Amino acid sequence: MPVFDFSNPESTTTTTEVTYTTFHSDKNVATPEDPILLLDNAPRQWAHHSCGVFTNPAKHTAFEFEEEDGIISANILQIDSRFVSLIKWLGENHINVRLSGKNLPDGYAVYKIREIAYGGATKLSAEDGFLQFMMERLFSSSAPLDETLKEEDSELGDDMKLTSIQSITDFITCAGRTLPDNIRLWARRNLAVAKSHEVSPEERRHAQRALSIMMNIQWKTDYFESIDPDEARRILDEELYGMERVKQRIIETIIQINRTHTLPAYGLLLVGPAGTGKSQIAYAVARILKLPWTTLDMSSINDPEQLTGSSRIYANAKTGIIMDAFAMAGESNLVFIINELDKAASGKGNGNPADVLLTLLDNLGFTDNYIECMIPTSGVYPIATANDKSQISAPLMSRFAVIDIPDYTPEEKKVIFSKFALPKILKRMSLKESECIVSPDALDAVIEKFSDTTGIRDLEQAAEHIAANALYQIEVNHVSSVTFDAAMLKELFD
């Protein structure tokens, strides 16, 4: 009968030592000087391209190199804090990888990681593309503030482009800590629903679709880099003629962003007659801020549900226009251009679309009925346009800094027509300026003809009509050029 002596048991458990430290980096690309991680190269110098696997996944502290003389382990000395979970995931799933690095005095600096096939085994993520997608997302993320992750908080949520359950799960595992806290919790709950067999297939489908939408959005902080005021002024001058007061107000906003590194609490409301360039100003501001932009045309929205989405209780449920805008932009920081805000109160459905806009403009977060999660809006900069501010409710008006845009003076219209509108049309029609000449009296006739209209759209149409007539005469009558006088233009427009 065997006897077991427990008085002095032999220790068979070894404790894995954490050998690495983390460092914070905001670089969006890795180089030997700014690597993803450093490996110990004291035992030997490692090859530029080296293959192997990460080991000790519980502590993720080493890499096993596949060398000609066998498997050799090297401790990890430092890791970019954004990549800690990804390295752990690679180790836990025994993903075979190829490192690209350079031997430096401090260690082997790894700046590229590629997944490779080994022994005919199927890759977990099917293609190296998933790993590269993950790394791209992590490079564009800010370093997590909290380095400590409790075991009970370990996070598990779809594929390349994050549509399958497996790729969502992998993404949340590797980059979950870079998500806002409420979205991370929401993702874990919806992932549980998507994987559950205790709910209907319809519920699982909706949960998976909502996860795919949310995980494919880059959730950025509300920190904004400084913007060069001189470059901003150049863009404004390039896009707009005159409007000095408007340009001054926009430059003031840029200076404010540079001081606070956050967006202003209020967006811009551009009020003026049709055709005065309100949308052009909005696009110029988006270009200056270097943000993606989306438009909401309030004249075509007559039901709040178009903005807020529909509940998942319906089989054909879908997200609203606002959530779609985040998904199309691919990030949470963007410019919302709200056209015809004065039409927002004319809802014909079950509610007022203008009320939905209030939650978007308050910077406190927006909730889509389909997603069922509070979306941070601190990185959203709203720019609205309107023709008649008397039609805008007081609560909506209070969310904006109002800029009144006057109509152009006759002298401004002359400059815009001769220096901008006509040359642009001529270039588009492949006409030389010497082939289509508008005399000074003809220019006066054009301005007088459209003196009762607002904006410059009629002037642009007139320029196109003139250029088309010149092209006709050159091609049909075989003249070398056309010079328009006042009489010719009056006959042309009558």
Regarding whether 415 and 400 lie in a shared domain, the answer is: no
Residue 213 structure tokens: 């939408």
Spatial CB neighbours of 323, under 8 Å, sequence gap ≥ 6:
213, 309, 368, 370, 371, 375
User: Which pLDDT tens digit goes with each residue over 351-407?
Assistant: 788 888 888 888 888 999 999 999 999 899 999 999 888 889 888 999 999 998 888
Regarding whether 172 and 158 lie in a shared domain, the answer is: yes
Q: Is 58 helix (H, G, I), strand (E, B) or coil?
A: coil
User: Distance between CA atoms of 388 and 341, rounded to whole angstroms?
Assistant: 9
The three-point CA angle 93-158-218 to 5° equals 105
Burial of 122 (0-12, 13-18, 19+ CB in 10 A): exposed
Residue 43 structure tokens: 């035992």
User: Distance between CA atoms of 90 and 6, rounded to whole angstroms?
Assistant: 38
Torsion of CA 187, 188, 189, 192, to 10 degrees: 120
User: Distance between CA atoms of 116 and 127, rounded to whole angstroms?
Assistant: 9
Q: Is residue 5 part of a domain?
A: no
Q: Is 297 helix (H, G, I), strand (E, B) or coil?
A: strand
Beta strands in 81-215 (DSSP E): 97-104, 107-115
Regarding whether 294 and 245 lie in a shared domain, the answer is: yes
User: Distance between CA atoms of 213 and 327, rounded to whole angstroms?
Assistant: 6
Residue 188 structure tokens: 């874990």
Spatial CB neighbours of 167, under 8 Å, sequence gap ≥ 6:
125, 130, 158, 159, 160
Q: Contact 88/60 with Cβ under 8 angstroms?
A: yes
Regarding whether 303 and 203 lie in a shared domain, the answer is: no
Regarding whether 392 and 255 lie in a shared domain, the answer is: yes
Question: Where a domain ends, among 78, 93, 128?
Answer: 128
User: Distance between CA atoms of 338 and 464, rounded to whole angstroms?
Assistant: 29
The reported pLDDT for the residue numbered 10 is: 44
Regarding whether 371 and 276 lie in a shared domain, the answer is: yes
Residue 492 structure tokens: 């042309």
Whether the bond between 150 and the residue before it is cis, its omega within 30 degrees of 0, is no
Nearest to 416 by CA among 467, 455, 385, 464: 455
Query: Strands 37-39 and 49-55: what pairing?
Result: unpaired
Q: Is residue 61 part of a domain?
A: yes
Q: Is residue 474 part of a domain?
A: yes
| Axis-axis angle for helices 165-175, 201-215 (nearest 10) | 40
Q: Is residue 106 part of a domain?
A: yes
Q: Which residues pair with 272 in a beta bridge?
A: none
Regarding whether 418 and 397 lie in a shared domain, the answer is: no
The reported pLDDT for the residue numbered 494 is: 75
Backbone angles phi, psi at 333, to 5 degrees: -100, 115
Domain count, the chain: 4
Regarding whether 420 and 400 lie in a shared domain, the answer is: no
Regarding whether 156 and 119 lie in a shared domain, the answer is: no
Question: Where a domain ends, among 215, 249, 264?
Answer: 215
What is the CATH number for 427? 1.10.8.60
Regarding whether 308 and 187 lie in a shared domain, the answer is: no
The reported pLDDT for the residue numbered 214 is: 93
Q: Which residues of the chain have pLDDT under 70?
A: 1-17, 56-60, 118-127, 145-161, 345-350
Half-sphere exposure of 412 (CA within 13 A, CB side): 13
Regarding whether 114 and 86 lie in a shared domain, the answer is: yes
What is the CATH number for 268? 3.40.50.300
Q: Which amino acid is at 159?
A: D
Q: Is residue 367 part of a domain?
A: yes
The three-point CA angle 15-18-21 to 5° equals 175
Locus of tokens 């679709």: 209
Half-sphere exposure of 219 (CA within 13 A, CB side): 21
Q: Is residue 485 part of a domain?
A: yes
Half-sphere exposure of 187 (CA within 13 A, CB side): 33
The three-point CA angle 85-86-91 to 5° equals 95
Q: Is residue 253 part of a domain?
A: yes
Regarding whether 261 and 198 lie in a shared domain, the answer is: no
Half-sphere exposure of 158 (CA within 13 A, CB side): 23
Q: Which amino acid is at 427?
A: K
- Quote the mean pLDDT of the chain: 85
Spatial CB neighbours of 378, under 8 Å, sequence gap ≥ 6:
222, 262, 263, 363
Q: Is 313 helix (H, G, I), strand (E, B) or coil?
A: coil
Q: Is residue 206 part of a domain?
A: yes
User: Distance between CA atoms of 306 and 154, rounded to whole angstroms?
Assistant: 37
In which domain, by residue range, is 210 found?
151-215
| Axis-axis angle for helices 181-195, 165-175 (nearest 10) | 150
Backbone angles phi, psi at 471, to 5 degrees: -65, -40
Burial of 393 (0-12, 13-18, 19+ CB in 10 A): middle
Question: Where a domain ends, among 404, 420, 443?
Answer: 404
User: Distance between CA atoms of 333 and 172, rounded to whole angstroms?
Assistant: 21
Length of the chain: 494
